[in-house]
Amino acid sequence: MRGFMIEDVLISTDGRIGRIALNRPKAIHALNLAMCQAMIDALLKWRADDGIEAVTIEHSEGRGFCAGGDIRMLAESGAKDGVEARQFFHTEYRLNHLLFTYPKPVVAFMDGITMGGGVGISQPAKYRVATEHTRFAMPETGIGLFPDVGGGWYLPRLEGRVGVFLALTGARLDGAECLALGLATHYLPSEKLAEAKARIAAHPDRIGGILGELSVAAPPAAITRHIDRINRLFASDRYEDILAALEADGGEWAEKELAALHSKSPQTCKVALRQLKEGAVMHDFAAEMAQEYAIGSRVVQMHDFIEGVRALIIDKDNSPKWNPPTPEGVTDDWIDAIFAPLPENETWTPLT
């Protein structure tokens, strides 16, 4: 095996396989700018290398695949001029798009926590492997952000209104649920991952067969029991309607989800609803990423994101003071301004 290391990501080759291993275990492998750029550089090199037939993405050690992006940095930048935050988003979204359009098969091992930025580098992969340790979520509305890194593309393409439910509530899914919803293509016991990686390195032309042979029957997927309820109660693209439907239902499940929504930023819940509605009818992933970049460029400097990070990550008092504090206070004009296209010289573009 040949490779090199920057501090936070390990890049290597193993036979005809390119390997990317996230290496920030103390931060649950949260992505930073250097990691995104290192992955882009490796992927571009391997794309042009006829000796590399496939790529694997995993984590080096610890309890999670990837917990997201460097949220604290984003908030500190947003509280100033936002330049560093926009630079990170621009590079991260280019990585997401590069993976989405990559001509060689990519295998993502979603073993452990897979949230935010971790979703962005696993969902574009042709093969997405879940295990009994997988915990998948897009929890951004809880910190005043929104489900970016392609969330506006992937989530509305899930069954019924499940994507809307995940975007608004930040609900966590286990590996079996990821498999049932199509967020994962295979379910392997974690003890089989080393064998899977070794066999893929030896036979990169047989990835699907190898993963199929090592797969096991997943446990029952709990979320499937609630899909009819989700489709009914989360049917509207108007946030106030969803809250009213949950309140009117009055059941134990509805009350639990209503309580979860009451802790989220009304602004970013409305952003997420519009993002998924528009993303559902887009035909170009690059257009989705350009829109998410415009949204992110603005939201990262707004009160709710800076306050959400303060309350949940810095001070950890879990009592964010959202502004506006109610859904009714977040007007259509407010959301329109967040979604407005950026000036041409500031727009996001994919790698050429």
Q: Could you give the count of Cα atoms lying within 13 Å of 135 in the half-sphere of its Cβ?
A: 13
Write the CA distances from 114 to 14, 33, 166, 228, 255, integer angstroms.
25, 18, 14, 26, 26
Q: Is 3 a catalytic residue?
A: no
- For the stretch 296-332, pLDDT in tens is 999 999 999 999 999 999 999 999 999 999 999 999 9
Tokens of 54: 């496939």
pLDDT for 112: 96
Structure confidence at residue 122 (pLDDT): 98
CB 322 within 8 A of CB 144: yes
Q: Which two tokens stand for residue 117?
A: 């930025």
51 in a domain, yes or no? Answer: yes
Residue numbers in the chain where pLDDT is lower than 50? none
Residue 270 domain flag: yes
What distance lies between CA 343 and its chain's CA centroid? 26
Q: Which entry of 70, 140, 177, 257 is annotated as an active-site residue?
A: 140
Annotated active-site residue 148? The verdict is yes
Per the annotation, the verdict on 140 as an active-site residue is yes
Residue 352 inside a domain? The answer is no
Residue 61's pLDDT is what?
84
**Total domains, the chain:** 1
Q: Which of 18, 117, 144, 175 is catalytic?
A: 117
Give strand pairing partners of 20: 11, 57
CATH no. for residue 304? 3.90.226.10
* 152 is a catalytic site residue: no
pLDDT at 1: 54
Model pLDDT, residue 200: 98
List the domain range (segments joined by +) for residue 87.
Answer: 2-346
Give me the catalytic one of 148, 174, 257, 307. 148
Rg of the chain in Å (alpha carbons): 20
Model pTM? Answer: 0.96
Helix (H) or strand (E) holding 348: none
Mean pLDDT of the residues in the chain: 96
- Asked whether residue 351 is domain-assigned, the answer is no
Pick the catalytic residue from 18, 64, 68, 69. Answer: 69
DSSP helix/strand/coil, 216? coil
